[in-house]
Structure 1
C-alpha cells in the first residue's frame, strides 16, 4: 500500500488538550471555538450541580460547565492558568472550565485506543479513547457524550 493510501486510511486528527489535576484530556479541535481566560461567572439559580453559571461572550450568553465536576474530579482553586474552553455542539455554544489548556496535539487514528472499561465511574462514559504518545497519556473525550442529552441523567442536560 502506498504511503498516501496508508495516510488516507489513518487520518491525522487534532485535539485541543487541557489539564484537570494531573490528567490531560483532549477535545476534537473541530468543536472548539476559542479559549478564554477565566472571567467572573454569573450563577444561575436552579442550574445543575455541574453548571457554574453564565458569561457574556461578545453579546451572547454562554453557559459554563465545570469540567472538574462533570469528570468527577475534586475541587481546585481558580488560578492564572484557569481557562474557559468555548465549544459548539449541536448548535449550542458552551464553556468548559478547565485548570489549564495545554496544546493542540496531532494524533493518527491508529494511535488511539478504544475507551477503557476499567471503571464504573460516571466520568468513564465520556471517554471516546486514549492515546499514550511521547510518554503522555491523553484521555480523549467525546463532546457528544460530554455535552449531549442523556435519558439516564436529565439533570446533566444543558439544553
Structure 2
C-alpha cells in the first residue's frame, strides 16, 4: 500500500446563481490553469471540512454552507499518493480583501485570481486541475446543483 503523503480538502463552491467559483492560476513560463479553492489538511484541523473552512477564509475571504463530500481524487506524488476530498458547498459570504496567506505574500508563486463560471458550458476550454475533475463536474452537473441546494426538489421522481 502506498503512503499518503498529503491530504487536501477542496470546494466545489457555487454561488446563488449557480456559478462555480474557481481559482485561475497564472505562473510565469507556464500555461494558465484553473483549480478549485482549498488546500492541505493541517494537523490542527479537526476534519477535512474544518480544513476547507480555513482554506476558504484564506484564499477567498469566504464562508460557505452545506459541505457535502461528493468526490475523492488521488494521484501519485513523491513516492506516495495525494488524496483530495471534494465537497460541494454554497457560498454565503465573499470578501476578497480578507484573503491572506503565504501565496499572496510571495509574488514568485504567481497569481491567484477568482473566476466564476456557469457549468457545464463555462468549463469548456478551461485547463482544470486535477485531471478528470472537469468530466466529473459535467457528468454530475444536475446532482451537484441539487446537493448545493440550487435545483428544484419538487421535480424529483422515483425512477
Higher relative contact order (CA 8 A, sep 6+): 2
Higher share of residues assigned helix? 2
TM-score normalised by length of structure 2 = 0.27
TM-score normalised by length of structure 1 = 0.27
Higher share of residues assigned strand? 1
